[in-house]
Structures are given as C-alpha cells and as structure tokens.
Amino acid sequence: MSINHYIACDLGAESGRVMLGTLDEKKLAIEEIHRFPNSPVQISNSLRWDVLRLFDELKFGLRKAASRGIPIASVSCDSWGVDYILLNGNEPFLIAPYHYRDLRTDGALQKAFAIVNKEDIFAETGIQFMTINTLYQLLTDLQERPSILNAAERFLNVADYFNYLLSGVARAEESLASTSQLYNPWLRTWSTKLINQFGLPVKIFPEVVRSGTILGPLLPALSADTSFQGTQVVAGCSHDTGAAVAAVPAKSGKWAYLSSGTWSLLGVEYQEPIINGKSLGYGFTNEVGYGGHIRFLKNITGLWVVQECRRSWAKEGKEFSYAQLTEMAESVTTLDSFIDVMDPRFSKPDDMPAKVAKFCQSTDQFVPRTPGEIIRCVLSSLAMLYRQTLDQVEELTGRTVTTLHIVGGGCKNHLLNQLAANASGRKVLAGPVECSAIGNIIVQAIALGHIPSLEAGRSIVRNSFPLKRYDPEDAPNWEKAVKKYSTVVQK
C-alpha cells in the first residue's frame, strides 16, 4: 500500500496555513501544521504586504512538518491573485509589495481606458474589471515610479514568488497569471498586445507554465534546514480559487461552485472562455483552472464586510467571535434590510457598521443598529447576490444549475449556507473547509503521478471529507424579498 505526504502552503488575505496532506490509496487526510496571521502593514500612507515575515512563517511550518520524520514528496504554494513582487538579481524584492486595497489604484481604470478602451481589454483577456487587477497596479507603477519598474528584471505574483523562494525557479503559473488582466485565455499566455499598448516592460513578464508543473527540488539550504530529501516544488494551481475549484467534490452534472471567504468567487467550470458583451456587462471573468478549464465566475465582495464590522466593534472594546456574530444574526428572522455589497463604499476598511446603516437609511429601509441586525443584513444581502449571479450564469452558459457547492472557510457559516439555499432556491452542499489546501495537494499528487486524473482526485475528496446539505426553505417570503433586494440595489 502506497502512502505519500505533501505540503500545501495556503496563503489567504487574512491568514496563512502550512498543511500536511497524507494520501493513502483512495483517502486523503489533511492536518494543519502551522497557522499564522497575514495582516497588511501601513507604511508612509501606503498599505504593503510583509512577505519576508510570511516566508519565515512558511519555513517555520516546513520545519514543524520535518520534525514528524516522514518523507515529503512535494510542496506547493497558493495565494490570492493580482498582487506581485518586483525582483532584480538576488535581492528578495525591489520595494515592499503593495496590498491590493492600497489607494494608489483609485482612478486607474479611467487612466487605462484612455489608452485602450474597455471593450478591447475585455476582448483580449475576458477578465472582470477591478482596480485591484495586476494590470492597473503595474500601470500605476509605470506612471508613478517608472524608475523602479524599469529596474525590475521580472515580477512574480504572490504564490509564484514563494514557489520561487523555495525552488529558485521563477515561473508564472497560468491559473494565477490569468487573474492579472494581462493574460490571453485563448492563446494561454501573456497578452503581448496589451503589454505593448500600455508600454509595460516586456522583460518583466516571466515564462508561463501549466498548472501542475514540477519546478524542481527544494533549494539545498532549505533541504538542509528541514532534512527533506528529494522533495519537489510544484507550481500547482497557484491561485487559491483555482486550487479550491480543483477540489470541489462534484460529480458531473448541473453544479456551480462558491469559494467562500474574504471574497466570494462564484461560477462554473467551462470548456472555453465566454467573452461577449453580456458577460462584460454582468461583470464576469474568465480565469484558467486545472487542465486548462475556464473558471467562468464573478468576484464578489464576500465575508470582508463581516470581517470589517468585527474589527470596528473590536476597536470599540466589543470583542465578538464569528460564531457569536452568527448566533446573534440568527436571532433576527425578518428580511427588512439589504445592502449592495458590491457598492464601492464597502471596499475600503473604515467603520463598516456605520456604512451598512447609512446605506440602508439612504435607500429608505429599516436601519440595522445592533450587531445581530447588521450581520443578518450583510449575510442576507450576500445570499441575494449569489442568487442573482447564479441566474446570470445560467443565462450566459445555457446551463441549469441545481446544486451549489460552497467550499472554503466561509462554508463554516451555516447561517449563510442556509440563506444561500433559501435565496437561490437551489440545493447547497457545504464543504470541505480547507478546499484550497486540498486542491493544492490533489494537483501535486497528479503532477507526481500518484493520482491519475482530476476526476479521480475529486472522487478522493468525496470519499475523504463530509459534506453538509442545505435545502431551500420559506420560498414565498424569499421571493418577496428578492423583489425588494432588486429595487434596493438599483437605486
């Protein structure tokens, strides 16, 4: 009986995890070896990532795994998209990398459209327009700090950067590159057309590799530090949602996925990009998944609003756990208030409870005041947005969606799962929680020949992790609420 061990370095916008995966024939077990916070650093009126501390945390996790005395076949990193690190020579970076919520890209869309029109950018990339995208961050660098950008030999998105620090091989993995809005999903490589039109330095764009590419062995210094022998570094699905989708425990059929966390990423797997006026108008994006599948999805502001409400209350000395907030929200049973979670006012951190109340007041709704009322308003609004997005998916793909698989940390929120079923009128299957790490490990195992295919990997996930089912409830009241929500978000 063959038993193999893998390490997934799973980096989220709030926290990071070093996860040990053990594949024993048809069963996969995962264990959290090390968890650490990932908070941006405010420096000189800018918001940055502390990537050196993050790498130190990853190495600490590798050493803890090494203390088990078991052979590790491979290691791979996944992360959020769009942010990047500029490199030159052997220096760890040229400047401390910016956080996607930094204000420097405010107004960047309009500046970009003055160079290349919106329709042409979308036709070339199929990516949803967000000021945080790599394209607009690089364009801001070009306009505001050209000397630094021109000094760079290359850039690497976050997970690719950490895979580089582990292996010494600098490559752009395609699931992560495809989130940049500088990647052509038809040609499956960087868009030289857009790079040249925007005047970005061609030299900084690294070679793109497919998901599941073996980069090479762990660097000698890291092998010596951990005593790992023969451990390979794999560019799996370096984008965390790409990894999560690879592990969705779905069978063939009428299903969609929701990777639920700080962001909600909702969509379907499709055989080719859907790039047309309607997908542009609805704000959908075409990202690449394992095996070249298109992750046709929409990026939705997810539990970010809840997280920021919690932070605001903590500043006032009111410490609530997420479980306590959910329990308080459950006690509110009416559907009196909704917000448009995609409204720009909710994208920046600053007294989120007041923003929620002000939105409801400005749209002539009941104004939530207590933490329970505010969280219920946010979660109900998210559920309504899920329904709207699923309806749009059906319209754009011609597919009927009957089942929504919710994966990631947000699937622990049983109230949101039930609200999603109620609002959408569709069955919800929740789990696994650590789907990004699980998908990361599944792709590593496929790359090393330990699992024959993605379908076999998903079968292993179904056999290994329990799912919880939620069926729609209280349909008449929710149908009335849908009409109210539609009115609110159009004001």
Establish if 485 belongs to a structural domain. yes
Residues 85 and 167 in one domain: yes
Distance CA(190)–CA(395), nearest Å, equals 29
- Which of these is catalytic: 240, 336, 350, 391? 240
Domain end call among 201, 216, 238: 238
Helices marked H in 133-254? 134-144, 146-151, 158-167, 174-177, 192-197, 220-226, 240-246
Q: How far is CA 465 from CA 75, 234, 241, 259, in A?
A: 22, 24, 19, 16
Distance CA(259)–CA(436), nearest Å, equals 9
Mean pLDDT per 10-residue run, the chain (491 residues)?
92 93 95 96 94 97 96 97 96 96 95 98 97 97 96 98 98 98 97 98 98 98 94 97 96 91 92 97 96 94 94 97 97 93 89 97 96 98 97 96 95 97 97 96 98 96 97 95 91 63
CATH number at residue 354: 3.30.420.40
Q: Which pLDDT belongs to residue 155?
A: 98
Q: Which pLDDT belongs to residue 370?
A: 97
Q: Answer yes or no: are the C-beta atoms of 101 and 349 closer than 8 Å.
A: yes
Establish if 65 belongs to a structural domain. yes
Residues 160 and 299 in one domain: no
Helix, strand, or coil (residue 267): strand
Establish if 204 belongs to a structural domain. yes
Residues 176 and 140 in one domain: yes
Q: Which pLDDT belongs to residue 253?
A: 77
Distance CA(96)–CA(151), nearest Å, equals 15
Amino acid identity, residue 85?
I
Residues 14 and 159 in one domain: yes
Q: Answer yes or no: are the C-beta atoms of 346 and 355 closer than 8 Å.
A: yes
Q: Which pLDDT belongs to residue 1?
A: 52
CB atoms within 10 A of CB 189: 15
Helix, strand, or coil (residue 283): coil
Angle at 296 between CA 111 and CA 437, to 5 degrees: 100
Residues 280 and 156 in one domain: no
Distance CA(472)–CA(418), nearest Å, equals 7
Half-sphere exposure of 327 (CA within 13 A, CB side): 5
Q: Which pLDDT belongs to residue 204?
A: 98
Distance CA(483)–CA(378), nearest Å, equals 17
Pairing, β 46-48 against β 41-43: antiparallel
Count Cβ neighbours within 10 Å for each residue of 121-148 and write b for 16 or more, e otherwise.
bbebbbbbbbbbbbbbbbbbbbeeeeee
Task: Compute the residue count for the chain.
Answer: 491
Residues 231 and 263 in one domain: no
Distance CA(222)–CA(226), nearest Å, equals 6
Q: Answer yes or no: are the C-beta atoms of 290 and 445 closer than 8 Å.
A: no
Q: Which pLDDT belongs to residue 491?
A: 63
Pairing, β 208-209 against β 172-173: parallel
Dmax of the chain from CA atoms?
A: 65
Establish if 436 belongs to a structural domain. no
Residues 337 and 275 in one domain: yes
- Cα 247 to the center of its chain, rounded Å: 14
DSSP state of 409: G
Residues 27 and 127 in one domain: yes
| 225 carries an active-site annotation | no
Sequence-ordered strand ranges (E) for 241-327: 255-260, 263-270, 285-288, 294-301
Establish if 161 belongs to a structural domain. yes
- Helix (H) / strand (E) element for 97: namely none
- Which structural domain range is residue 374 located in? 246-431+467-491
Through-space distance between the first and last CA atoms of the chain, rounded to whole angstroms = 62
Q: Which pLDDT belongs to residue 193?
A: 98
DSSP 345-371: GGSS-S-HHHHHHHHHHHTTS----SH
Domain count, the chain: 2
Amino acid identity, residue 166?
L
pTM reported for the whole predicted model: 0.91
Residues 117 and 232 in one domain: yes
CB atoms within 10 A of CB 354: 12
Residues 193 and 255 in one domain: no
Establish if 445 belongs to a structural domain. no
Residues 356 and 394 in one domain: yes
Residues 370 and 401 in one domain: yes
Helix, strand, or coil (residue 383): helix
Of the candidates 164, 160, 153, 162, which has an alpha carbon nearest to the alpha carbon of residue 183? 160
Count Cβ neighbours within 10 Å for each residue of 65-90 and write b for 16 or more, e otherwise.
bbeeeeebbbbbbbbbbbbbbbbeee
